Amino acid sequence: MTSPRIPNIAAQIALHGRQRPTQPALVHGARTLDYRTLDAEITRRAAWLQGRGLESGAVIGIALADSIEHVLMLYAVARAGGVLLPVDCRWKPFEKQRVAEHFGAALVMVEPGAAFEGVPCVDVGPGWLAEVARAEPRVPFPDGDRGLVMSLSSGTTGRPKGPMLSHQRLVSRFYTQWADLGFGSRERYVNATPLYFGGGRTFTLSTLYAGGTVVLCPPPYTPEELAAEIGRTQGSLLFLVPTLLRRLLACDAATLAPLRGMKSLISSGSALTREERVQIRETICPNFVEYYASTEGGGVTVLTPEDQLRHGDSVGRPAFGVEVQVVDEAHRPVATGDTGRIRYRSASVAEGFHGDPEASKEAFRDGWFYPGDLGALNDEGYLFLKGRSKDMIIRGGVNIYPQEIEAVLMDHPAVLEAAAVGWPSREFNEEVAAFVIRKGEVEEAELVALCRQALAPYKVPRRVFLVDELPRNSLGKVVKTELVARLDPL
């Protein structure tokens, strides 16, 4: 008895093209593609890939701007049976080349004039579009029983790591988004984050798979421009990282009016404080959902608006189809309330890092994925993050979790953002240092005094450095190693 064939995710677009041909699929500014046109354009691009002699399993880099063409190529590579390799178009040429060569890209799609050395590059200019218009499928497109996307971890420092996701695993992530986040066939998702970013890319693919509408609102934009575009297109779903949400919090009620009635405003990438969540619900959108997720495993937990009222310091309970545990160094579950290593498993989790058994051994074990975060579960199943295991500060043999210090600093009304790191010390191994971006008048001494009131003496920062900005990677996350590099050993 043979196993049933796994559908190619692009087959669903073909079905929409037949059954809802005039439904708007993609909107970018004044341009709109319906599902009939979307299916035809994807098919021609997949046929062009076939015509290049690219076989199923070939790795295709996508180094394009956030545009309709970018989305078309995502589904075209899927339809042709290729493997997507996201390449941030904002990277320097040597960064693009390094990642493309590491993962063995057969070719990389680039913007006109953006080709780089080492790997064949094809620019998506007028000449290429003319070739695509003439392309016809040569053989039947393959099913989805194969790899689909190398979902790269953020940043390009160190050894590149790319967990391979299959068609089936990506669709499992879609199920979670439909069940817990409000995505579906009747929604208009406004994609306001880079398509290179796993969240923006996956939510876009998920919306189109379901038959909904995707509105592209690529950065850079002002908060006012984003709000106006949501109003113009009647967007019902929006995903933003905390950095962008904090910019919206500075806007007036009239500007934010189009966001108030959205079905869901979703945040992921890093945790927000209890007070920030209250502000977001009260001033931006009452239907605010926080989504704790990882590139390698997809969604982990969901914190609903109702949950935020009861457990505002949590990241929520496990998402649909996800099992979460907190374990010790011997991989044994710890007692309720104790801090340990977070691990989880689901049908969405990658099997390992592509071509990197050494890194896979560290993060994947017995069907579980270890995202590198520390946390604790309460008796109701809510998960509380305690920081990154690699970011944990060890002072005199005592573990200190940076997120606890950051939460205290963020409680001050004049603090916009805070990051706590370990300060190399001969006496204690590490002391605590904190870096703070202000939004009002406050001095270092006042912030240190605040920490003394709220924290045990050994957790109080030796210094609080007032800075204008924090170093970030391409996804907006703070790069703490760069902050540590600024500190002379004590």
pLDDT in the model for residue 224: 95
Give the pLDDT confidence of 30-55 residue by residue, as tens digits. Answer: 999 999 999 999 999 999 999 998 88
Q: Is the pLDDT of residue 487 over 70?
A: yes
pLDDT in the model for residue 2: 55
Q: Cβ contacts of residue 409 below 8 Å, gap of 6+?
A: 415, 418, 420, 434, 436, 447, 450, 451, 464
Domain annotation for the chain: domains and CATH numbers: 9-377 (3.40.50.12780), 392-485 (3.30.300.30)
Closest C-alpha among 389, 391, 463, 394 to residue 427: 394
Q: What are phi and psi of 446, to 5 degrees?
A: -65, -40
Chain center to CA of 12: 24
Q: In the structure, what pLDDT confidence band is assigned to residue 1 with cuts at 50, 70 and 90?
A: very low
Give the pLDDT confidence of 275-306 residue by residue, as tens digits. Answer: 888 999 999 999 999 999 888 888 999 999 99
Q: Are 195 and 68 in contact (CB under 8 A)?
A: no
Q: In the structure, what pLDDT confidence band is assigned to residue 398 with cuts at 50, 70 and 90?
A: low
| The dihedral formed by the CA atoms of 76, 78, 82 and 83, expressed in degrees to the nearest 10 | 120
Average pLDDT over residues 195-218: 95
Q: Are 434 and 463 in contact (CB under 8 A)?
A: yes
CA distance 203 to 169: 14
Q: In the structure, what pLDDT confidence band is assigned to residue 16 with cuts at 50, 70 and 90?
A: very high
Name the CA radius of gyration of the chain, rounded.
23
pLDDT in the model for residue 478: 83
**Global pTM?**
0.82
DSSP helix/strand/coil, 268: coil
Give the pLDDT confidence of 219-270 residue by residue, as tens digits. Answer: 889 999 999 999 999 999 999 988 789 889 989 999 999 999 999 999 986 6
Q: For the chain, how many residues are written?
A: 490
**Token pair recorded at residue 135:** 């392309």
Q: Are 369 and 349 in contact (CB under 8 A)?
A: yes
pLDDT in the model for residue 490: 83
**Token pair recorded at residue 484:** 């540590």
Q: Are 302 and 221 in contact (CB under 8 A)?
A: no
Q: Are 311 and 327 in contact (CB under 8 A)?
A: no
| DSSP for 293-345, written as a single string | EETTTEEEEEE-HHHHHH-TTS-BEEPTT-EEEEE-TTSPBPPTT--EEEEEE
Chain center to CA of 357: 24
Q: In the structure, what pLDDT confidence band is assigned to residue 155 with cuts at 50, 70 and 90?
A: very low
- The Cβ of residue 35 has, within 10 Å, a number of other Cβ atoms equal to 24
Identify any residues that bridge with 350 across adjacent strands, giving them in sequence order: none
pLDDT in the model for residue 54: 87
pLDDT in the model for residue 157: 44
Closest C-alpha among 297, 407, 276 to residue 342: 297
For residue 101, the 8-state DSSP code is H
pLDDT in the model for residue 156: 41
Give the pLDDT confidence of 438-481 residue by residue, as tens digits. Answer: 999 999 999 999 998 888 788 899 999 999 999 887 556 788 88
Average pLDDT over residues 354-367: 82
Q: Is the pLDDT of residue 4 over 80?
A: no
CA distance 436 to 410: 9
pLDDT in the model for residue 480: 86
Q: Cβ contacts of residue 108 below 8 Å, gap of 6+?
A: 60, 61, 62, 63, 85, 87, 96, 100, 116, 119, 120, 121, 122
User: Chain-wide mean pLDDT for the chain?
Assistant: 90
Q: What are phi and psi of 410, to 5 degrees?
A: -70, -15
Strands (E), 210-305: 213-216, 237-240, 264-267, 288-294, 298-303
- Relative orientation angle of helices 402-410 and 444-454, to the nearest 10 degrees: 120
CA distance 281 to 7: 39
Q: In the structure, what pLDDT confidence band is assigned to residue 152 with cuts at 50, 70 and 90?
A: confident
Give the pLDDT confidence of 58-113 residue by residue, as tens digits. Answer: 999 999 999 999 999 999 999 999 999 999 888 888 888 988 998 999 999 999 99
Q: Are 426 and 490 in contact (CB under 8 A)?
A: yes
Give the pLDDT confidence of 400-410 residue by residue, as tens digits. Answer: 778 878 888 98
- Relative orientation angle of helices 35-51 and 126-134, to the nearest 10 degrees: 90
Surface-to-core class of residue 337, CB atoms within 10 Å of its CB (0-12 exposed, 13-18 middle, 19+ buried) = exposed
